[in-house]
Amino acid sequence: MALSGRHLRVGCELWLPWVNITEEADGTVTTSGVCIDLLNVIAEKLNFTYSFYRPSDREWGRELPNGSFTGMIGMCQRKEVDVALGPFVMAWDRFQAADFSTTIHFDQYGIILPRPRREVDLSGVAKPLSWQVWMSLGISICISLLIGLIINQIRKNYIGGDRGPTTEKIQTSWITKVMLAENVNPLPRAPTARMYIITWMLVGLIMHAAYGGVLISLLVVPKVTVPVDSLEDLLSYGKIPWTIIAGSYIHNIFQKIKEGIFKEVLDKAVVMKNYDDENLLWGSLKRDKMALFTPVIGILKHMSDDYTRTGECNFYLAREGVLSAPYALAFPKESELIPLFDTWLNAQKESGLFSHSILKVTTNVTACMVRPGKEGGNELHALTFMDLSGIFFLFGIGTGISFLIFIIEVIVKRL
């Protein structure tokens, strides 16, 4: 056999779904994950045993000013381990301290944030029409009322007399009745007045159809605003803080760029030391409403686990990724283990075992990969207070105004 029972020192650190490290109360440490499965298959094929070693700083590896590296890359540089699982982005600076296996995965760094939810929208009843339409309608009503008053005055002064306010004069209440779909009775006899009310009947008919149709669609198929879908959105939105894992590839890249959007993102980021407690990390994202830059495979794993545990979609993956990179295992420079590992890493990729391992840990994520507001598909739902909150808001405003008018009336009467 290739390694004839040799014992290897393996560097690893907690990073789901690649490596999961669990410490029991009695001090026993258990490991699992995609990279652990890969390692176990290779250990069986190459006939070696191994022990795990974690970096004291809990980092993957970033270059220091003196040329040394932190984390597991530093352990490879100092030959403290024979292989480090990572997996690691194969960056140029890391190649100066370590060698890498064949690519085992190609991934993006994405932005994960708390899932946007529907909120109480007091202006919802006004949203079927744009503000330009509402303003134009208001101006049209004012102009129409003014024209009606002018026509009535001209009729009174030049045609002679006022033969009946309900049959000849233009009534200002007609517009209100037509717009509220009330009956206009009696109808006017004068041609001018008839043309006036016919115009507003047509306007009212079109407005009722347009407003009602759009309002129904908004209530039945609610929309949720997604404020962040890219780095630019995250910076401009300004309401969600974000964090970056220290020593990660994206942290290294952001540190090396001295201007532009990446530098601005890093300057405003909260740098988290390590992944020591995954539950604490993802719990804080949900509780504190923070965003995180991390590889997409890790995001999918946690979204899947969270949905399995809670039955809800609590996280959202922004549409635009940040960076793309290949991942591999790391070795000390000129390690004789690399070609041996590559043979069986390629065999597992080609046989589909690796893809199966990835798919197995993200089983339920598809339920949460839809746009916010579409989690239940297109099925109808009962209207809630959130859907109709604007109506109750109008009721409260109208009741308050009517009570205020009543108080004014009482005061006027008393005086």
Average pLDDT over residues 85-102: 88
Q: What is the pLDDT of residue 329?
A: 92
pLDDT surpasses 80 at 406 = no
Is 158 a member of any domain?
A: yes
Could you give the CA distance from residue 311 to residue 315 in angstroms, rounded to a whole number? 12
Is 379 a member of any domain?
A: no
pLDDT surpasses 60 at 280 = no
Q: Write out pLDDT tens, residues 171-206.
A: 777 777 777 777 777 777 777 777 877 787 788 788
State the burial class of residue 410 (Cβ atoms within 10 Å of its Cβ: 0-12, 13-18, 19+).
exposed
Q: What is the pLDDT of residue 267?
A: 83
The predicted model scores a pTM of: 0.63
Is 265 a member of any domain?
A: no
Q: Please, are residues 261 and 255 in contact by the beta-carbon 8 Å criterion?
A: no
Does 257 or 329 have the greater pLDDT score? 329
Q: What is the pLDDT of residue 325?
A: 83
Q: What is the pLDDT of residue 379?
A: 56
Q: What is the pLDDT of residue 122?
A: 64
pLDDT surpasses 90 at 402 = no
The residues, any chain, with a CB within 8 Å of residue 86's CB and separated by 6 or more, are 13, 15, 18, 35, 60, 72, 327, 328, 329, 330
Which of 147-151, 323-327, 340-344 shows the lowest mean pLDDT across its residues? 147-151
Is 192 a member of any domain?
A: yes
Let me know the angle formed at the C-alpha of 303 by 300 and 308, rounded to the nearest 5 degrees: 125
Residue 166: which pLDDT band, with cuts at 50, 70 and 90?
Answer: very low
**How distant, in Å, are the alpha carbons of 125, 126, 134, 143, 262 from that of 139?**
20, 17, 9, 6, 48
Which of 72-81, 212-221, 349-358, 396-405 shows the lowest mean pLDDT across its residues? 212-221
Q: Write out pLDDT tens, residues 283-313.
A: 667 666 788 888 888 888 888 888 888 888 8
Q: What is the pLDDT of residue 412?
A: 82
Residue 77: which pLDDT band, with cuts at 50, 70 and 90?
Answer: very high
Residue 98: which pLDDT band, with cuts at 50, 70 and 90?
Answer: very high
Is 358 a member of any domain?
A: no
Is 202 a member of any domain?
A: yes
Average pLDDT, the chain: 79
Is 251 a member of any domain?
A: no
pLDDT surpasses 90 at 331 = yes
Domain carrying residue 176:
124-221
Question: CA torsion 51→55→58→61, rounded to 10°?
Answer: -110
Q: What is the pLDDT of residue 84?
A: 92
Q: Write out pLDDT tens, residues 22-48.
A: 777 776 778 888 888 888 888 888 888
Q: Please, are residues 256 and 96 in contact by the beta-carbon 8 Å criterion?
A: no
Is 178 a member of any domain?
A: yes
Domain count, the chain: 1
Could you give the CA distance from residue 32 to residue 16 in angstroms, rounded to a whole number? 9
Average pLDDT over residues 341-353: 85
Does 406 or 6 have the greater pLDDT score? 6
Average pLDDT over residues 271-276: 64
Tokens of 338: 């690399």
Q: Write out pLDDT tens, residues 53-62.
A: 888 888 888 8
Question: What secondary structure letter does DSSP report for 69?
Answer: B
